[in-house]
């Protein structure tokens, strides 16, 4: 076997191997509560591994993200450590209030005790989480206000570990936080959540790996980097409307609802030539304050207030675009 074909095979094998490894790491980490020592350590480990994979399996259309690194770091910290907590504070009282005071209470609490054995709860969690996220993500492309928030995730010019969490916090919470709060309120077994949630999270995170890793048959089950890259293509495939491949973790919802797109040549998935804002009209936004405030129409007032203040890199005001 030549070195070249051995390398190619390794690019096919690395994806399932990493999925299994990350899954084991998450499971063990949760069981031993490692999060107490370094919150989100398992996610940080996945991101660090993705960066290494990007260096080994270099992608031929890779675009340097160095000029937006400060924005990326801020977005990562906010969505990893702040968005979930704030969303919980805002949404949990509402989620708890309605079942407490209205008709659904009895039904939900009654069902909580009768959600069935763990082996049944696991697929129920996997299917409901991924179906919710698929449709939320589709709406984030088709409903104008949601697109105003989500569009910043689509202005990145390449998929890389560093921009996995580049999203407006509200956009991020709608797709990635709320459904898990709902699961908690419904009262699934902690063991079922422990088994199911890593399976939904790992492929969602790893889908942003910028390395030239091959999904093979996994492309039809999981949202691999090969699948998610087409979701970010600057040229939306013809006939696909706003975009394709809306799944966050599993690609079978796209296959079922007719939004899956992955062209192949000789059994190998092809790549989009350019990643960026659909249609290509808008460049990436390097200013995190703009990403955060422009869609809420708050950038004008806040930038007026902060005019006199020196801002750290990544938050600085930029000359306004013409
Ligand atoms: Zn999207
Ligand atoms: Zn993405």
* CA 202 to ligand 2 center in whole angstroms: 14
Q: What is the Cα–Cα distance from 274 to 253, expressed in whole angstroms?
A: 25
Query: Ligand 2: distance of its center to the CA of 127 in Å?
Result: 20
pLDDT number for residue 13: 94
Residue numbers in the chain where pLDDT is lower than 70: 1, 99-114, 308-322
| Residues 6+ positions from 290 with CB-CB distance below 8 Å | 299, 318
**Tokens for 297?**
């129409």
The ligand placed nearest to the CA atom of residue 246 is 1
Give 251's DSSP letter. S
Residues for the chain: how many in total? Answer: 322
**Ligand 1 centroid vs 131 CA: distance in angstroms?**
15
CA of 310 to the centre of ligand 2 (A): 32
Ligand nearest to C-alpha 137: 1
State the distance from the centre of ligand 2 to the C-alpha of 101, rounded, in angstroms: 38
Q: H helices then E strands: how many in the chain? A: 14, 2
pLDDT of 156: 95
| CA 256, 261, 267, 271 torsion-angle sign | negative
| Contact indicator for 178, 128 with CB cutoff of 8 Å | no
Rounded to the nearest angstrom, the distance between the alpha carbon of 179 and the centre of ligand 1 is 17
* 285 neighbors 152 (Cβ within 8 angstroms): yes
Distance 105 CA to ligand 1 centre (A): 34
Interval between CA 150 and ligand 1 midpoint (Å): 7
Model pLDDT, residue 321: 45
pLDDT of residue 85: 92
Return the pLDDT at 26: 86
| pLDDT for 322 | 40
Ligand nearest to the CA of 139: 1
CB 155 within 8 A of CB 284: yes
pLDDT at 104: 58
**Would the pTM of this model clear 0.85, i.e. be above it?**
yes
Tell me which ligand sits closest to the C-alpha of residue 243. 1
Give the model's pLDDT for residue 269.
93
Helix (H) or strand (E) holding 268: strand 268-269
């Amino acid at each position: 076997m030549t070195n070249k074909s051995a390398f190619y095979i390794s690019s096919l094998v690395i994806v399932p191997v990493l999925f299994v490894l990350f899954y084991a790491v998450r499971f063990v980490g949760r069981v031993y509560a490692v999060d107490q020592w370094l919150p989100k350590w398992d996610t940080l480990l996945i991101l660090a591994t993705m960066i290494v994979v990007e260096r080994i399996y270099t992608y031929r259309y890779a675009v340097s993200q160095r000029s937006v690194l400060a924005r990326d770091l801020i977005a990562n910290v906010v969505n990893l450590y702040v968005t979930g907590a704030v969303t919980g504070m805002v949404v949990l009282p509402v989620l708890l209030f309605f079942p407490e005071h209205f008709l659904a209470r009895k039904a939900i609490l009654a069902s909580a005790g009768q959600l069935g054995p763990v082996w049944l709860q696991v697929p129920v969690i996997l299917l409901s989480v991924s179906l919710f996220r698929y449709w939320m993500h589709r709406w984030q492309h088709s409903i104008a206000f949601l697109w105003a928030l989500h569009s910043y995730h689509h202005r990145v010019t390449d998929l890389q570990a560093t921009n996995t969490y580049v999203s407006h916090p509200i956009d991020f919470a709608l797709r990635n936080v709320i459904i898990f709060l709902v699961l908690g309120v419904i009262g699934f077994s902690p063991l079922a959540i422990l088994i199911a949630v890593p399976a939904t999270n790992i492929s969602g995170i790893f889908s942003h790996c910028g390395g030239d890793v091959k999904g093979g048959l996994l492309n039809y089950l999981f949202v691999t980097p090969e699948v998610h890259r087409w979701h970010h293509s600057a040229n939306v495939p013809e006939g696909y409307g706003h975009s394709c491949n809306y799944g966050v973790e599993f690609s079978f919802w796209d296959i079922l609802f007719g939004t899956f797109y992955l062209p192949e040549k000789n059994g190998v998935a092809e790549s989009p030539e350019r990643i960026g804002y659909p249609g290509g009209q808008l460049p990436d936004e390097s200013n995190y304050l703009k990403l955060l405030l422009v869609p809420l129409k708050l950038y004008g007032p806040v930038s007026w207030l902060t005019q006199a203040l020196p801002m750290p890199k990544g938050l600085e005001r930029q000359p306004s675009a013409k």
